[in-house]
Amino acid sequence: MNSENTTHFGFTQVPLKEKVQRVTQVFDSVANRYDLMNDLMSGGMHRFWKRFAIELSGVRRGQQVLDLAGGTGDLAAKFATLVGEPGQVVLGDINATMLQVGRERLLNKGALVNYAQMNAEALPFADNSFDLISIAFGLRNVTDKEAALASMFRVLKPGGRILILEFSELKVRPLKPLYNLYSFKVLPLLGKMVTNDADSYRYLAESIRMHPNQENLLQMMQQAGFDRCDYHNLTGGIVALHRGYKL
């Protein structure tokens, strides 16, 4: 964001109040093919990235978990199995269409999950409510990331932890030209073929480049109050898993 009340939507500067609407339009457009596109875009690697996040979550039976930008519910379903009936998992998403797709998918699986439409910048929960908060591939779409991190810190219990799984900065320099070619040429073409929407996937590629890299996001987490922050690069840094604690 800048002092003129604008923020980035991909590589484009837009008024602050317009970004949420534009992001909503993106996910309204891709919701029904979201899982298929995830498999095609990542070659199935998103399943490995999410499994790694689950393994590092430390979630135990009876705990309270908030999965933000939970989309179609991949993480929420796993967390529900881990916390069992004594625990609770809330799948939260700002996008009603994505939330509905996730709800229908998890109901068909029999997963015990609660659902709520919410903005990560102002979470509608009491202080110290959750043992874990996760957000996978959603933080880069948030308008005010600092406000979102502060809101997550507030509703996290002392001793609780945050997991942020997100596209980040590729660290293998020789692969960067190929990665850029894939991001800006192949990805929109896939979007056009599968969802009839090249523009949304062009935005997604641009939003990755505008998102804070590994070290900058780590600093933002620390500034929000999180302790013992670290991150793990996955697939050469294409994705990073950040973790922090509320002491």
Residue 192 CB contacts under 8 Å (≥ 6 apart), including other chains: 198, 201
**pLDDT above 60 (res 3):** no
Handedness of CA 100, 211, 208, 233 (dihedral sign): negative
- Give the mean model confidence (pLDDT) for residues 130-145: 96
Phi-psi region of 154 (alpha: psi -120 to 50; beta: other; left: phi over 0): alpha
CA angle 92, 216, 89 (to 5 degrees): 20
Q: Return the percentage of the chain with pLDDT > 90, whole number.
A: 79
pLDDT at position 72, please? 86
pLDDT at position 55, please? 96
Summarize pLDDT for 73-91 with one digit per residue, the tens: 999 999 999 999 999 999 9
Alpha carbon distance 60, 65 (integer Å): 10
**pLDDT above 70 (res 1):** no
H-helix or E-strand spanning residue 188: helix 187-195
Summarize pLDDT for 182-234 with one digit per residue, the tens: 999 999 999 999 888 999 899 989 999 999 999 999 999 999 999 999 999 99
Q: Give the residue ranges of DSSP H helices in 58-133.
A: 74-83, 96-109
Alpha carbon distance 11, 32 (integer Å): 26
Alpha carbon distance 197, 193 (integer Å): 8
Q: Return the percentage of the chain with pLDDT > 70, whole number.
A: 98
Alpha carbon distance 12, 213 (integer Å): 19
Alpha carbon distance 176, 180 (integer Å): 6
R_g over Cα of the chain: 17
For tokens 């959750």, what's the residue? 130
User: How many CA atoms, within 13 angstroms, populate the side-chain half-sphere of residue 208?
Assistant: 23
pTM to 2 decimals? 0.93
Summarize pLDDT for 23-32 with one digit per residue, the tens: 888 888 888 8
pLDDT at position 4, please? 63
Alpha carbon distance 6, 92 (integer Å): 26
Alpha carbon distance 187, 218 (integer Å): 28
- Give the mean model confidence (pLDDT) for residues 99-111: 90
- Residue 16 banded pLDDT, cuts 50, 70, 90: confident
Alpha carbon distance 149, 131 (integer Å): 15
CATH number for the segment(s) 6-22+47-169+213-245? 3.40.50.150
User: How do the domains of the chain map onto residue ranges?
Assistant: 6-22+47-169+213-245
Amino acid at 180: N
- Give the mean model confidence (pLDDT) for residues 116-137: 97
